[in-house]
Amino acid sequence: MPGNLHLSLCKAIAKEQILIAAQNVSANPMGPYTGEVPADAIKDYEINYVLIGHHERRLLFGEDQAAVTAKCKHAEDCQLNIVYCIGESQEQREAEQTEEVVFEQLKALLDA
C-alpha cells in the first residue's frame, strides 16, 4: 500500500488486476481537517479500497474503537471498500488475550 502522496502514481502505473488501497481515511467529510485524508479525495484518485484499524494507527495515533468505527461508517457511506484490520498487541498476545481482543474489535464494528 503506497503512502497517500503516491496513490495517483501507483494507480497510473498499476496493471488492471492490481488493487490499490489507501492506508488511512478520515472519519469526517471534506472540510477543515488539516492533515486528514478525506474519502472524497481517495475516490478522486479512483482508489476504491482503504485500510482502517491498522495496529500502528491504534497504537501510535491513539485511535480507539470508536474512532475506527467512525472511519468505517464514513468510508462505507462513501462507497469505499474497507480492509478492516484487527489484531492484538504483543503484550496482549503474550498474555493470551488474542481471542478476546479480536472478538471485541469485530463485535464493536458489527454492533455499529
- The pair phi, psi for residue 30, each rounded to 5°, is -50, 140
State the pLDDT at residue 1: 59
The least confident of 9-18, 37-46, 77-86, 101-110 is 9-18
At 81 the pLDDT is 96
pLDDT of 51 higher than 90: yes
pLDDT, position 34: 83
Domain parsing of the chain, residue ranges: 4-111
> What is the CATH class of 4-111?
alpha beta
For 37, 109, 112, the CA distances from 47, given in Å and listed in that order, are 12, 23, 25
Q: What is the pLDDT of residue 44?
A: 87
